[in-house]
Amino acid sequence: MRDLWVSLRRFLFIILFSLAIGAVFIMMIGENPLNAYGALVRGAFVGKLNLGKTLANFTPLLLTSLAFAVGAKGGAFNVGVEGEVFLGGIAAAYIGIHWTFLPMPLHLLACFLGAMIVGALSAFIPGALKAYYGVNEVCTTILLNYVAFYVTSYLVSGPMSAGVANAQSHAVADQVKLFQFMKPSSANVGMFIAIVVSIGVIWVFNKTTFGYKIRTVGSNPLHAEYVGINPKKNFIQTMMFSGVLGGIAGCIEILGVHGYFLNNFAANLGFNGMLASLIVKNNILLTPFMAFFLGALKSGALGLQQSTGVPKSIVDTITAVFIIVATMDLLFQYHKKRKVKMAQKEGE
């Protein structure tokens, strides 16, 4: 509980400090920071359309940030979440288009299961390469992102093409489309699915043997092996768990937002989720709040630009400051640990 409180205070400090830096930039261009932030809040929360956009941005960020955090807790730096979103989306689109012989509940379930399986298999490859051959997962996951993008791009430009100007698939069956409850925004019931999934992830990490194994392997693989945990097997399972979350994110975007697979629909979703997780040091409990905050910043940026003379790139500046402050915090921790080690050596 104490660690959670410390992490929460750090999270709030990063937000306030970053907003303060953003206020300095806003004043430098001759605008009032209070008016600018007021416009940002209104653009993110005031009105059905604005609030709906915030919720729609939050849903995929919640899942992709959790996907990265899950991998990080198990000792994996999974940069391939974006590719898993693409592959999960194309699997959901294919099943949603062609498996119409199934009744609605089974058809919808098949879309999610297909996306989860494809996402897990995509993550299995770098997981196995790292566990058994020592291949760095950062390199393999980055390269697999390109594989996922080009494979899905080929499919919606060729075998799955709807034959329109934009590269996209045919529309999925109406019975598997997720209900949009805040039209004209694209906020849909997939948000509630994502929240339930995130609660399940938190429960797994804190209440199950599998969660304990992930944390143990992530913190000390040698100790994990000593107490009877197979670190290689667990590393692969952790990567696949991360891939499942990425696949779910892709499925929700296809069934709830677009209704078909649109080429390059998930650009930067994985990387933004990774940033949300890194800012809060991959804290499973705080990651959803950071995802919501970044989703609100993204949807409020347009309102900020329309209502004031402040460009929406200021929001990108604030996000960049988040990352810088988080990195500085890690730097300070490194120096602190170094001083402790030096003191221990002198004591010896």
Q: What digits encode the pLDDT tens for the residues 330-348? A: 555 545 555 555 655 555 5
Tokens 């566990």 belong to which residue? 131
Listed as own residue / partner, the contacts of 108-116 with beta carbons closer than 8 Å and 24 or more positions apart are: 108/175, 108/176, 108/255, 111/172, 111/176, 111/251, 111/255, 112/248, 112/251, 114/251, 115/87, 115/88, 115/89, 115/91, 115/247, 115/248, 115/250, 115/251, 116/88, 116/244, 116/247, 116/248, 116/251
For 44, the token pair is: 């993110």
Backbone angles phi, psi at 319, to 5 degrees: -65, -40
**Is the distance from CB of 107 to CB of 92 less than 8 angstroms?**
no
> Would you give the end-to-end CA distance of the chain in angstroms?
34
For 47-68, what is each residue's pLDDT tens digit? 888 899 999 999 999 999 999 9
User: DSSP state, 312?
Assistant: T
What is the pLDDT at residue 336?
53
Whole-number Å distance between alpha carbons of 114 and 148: 16
What is the pLDDT at residue 151?
95
Q: What is the domain-level CATH number for residue 212?
A: 1.10.3470
For 166-190, what is each residue's pLDDT tens digit? 899 999 999 999 999 988 889 999 9
What is the pLDDT at residue 117?
97
**328: pLDDT confidence band, cut at 50, 70 and 90?**
low
Distances (CA, A) of 232 to 182, 214, 223, 235: 45, 11, 13, 5
Whole-number Å distance between alpha carbons of 14 and 140: 32
Average pLDDT over residues 122-149: 94
CA-based nearest residue to 197, from 91, 26, 64: 64
DSSP letter string, 212-264: HHHHHHHH-HHHHHHTT--HHHHHHHHHHHHHHHHHHHHHHIIIIIISSPBTT
Among 9-23, 76-90, 151-165, the least confident range: 9-23
* Cα angle, residue 218 at apex, residues 214 and 221 outer, rounded to 5°: 100
Q: Is the pLDDT of residue 309 over 80?
A: no
For 219, the token pair is: 């913190």
For 249-293, what is each residue's pLDDT tens digit? 999 999 999 999 999 888 888 888 988 888 888 888 889 988 998
Alpha carbon 201 to chain centroid, angstroms: 13
Q: For residue 289, what are the domain limits?
A: 2-347
CA-based nearest residue to 114, from 89, 149, 97, 146: 89
For 71-116, what is each residue's pLDDT tens digit? 999 999 999 999 999 999 999 999 999 999 999 999 999 999 999 9
* Cα angle, residue 42 at apex, residues 41 and 48 outer, rounded to 5°: 120
Whole-number Å distance between alpha carbons of 291 and 272: 9
Count: domains in the chain: 1
**1: pLDDT confidence band, cut at 50, 70 and 90?**
low
What is the pLDDT at residue 128?
95
When the pLDDT of each residue in the chain is averaged and rounded to a whole number, the result is 87
Task: Give the bridge partners for 262, in sequence order.
Answer: 168
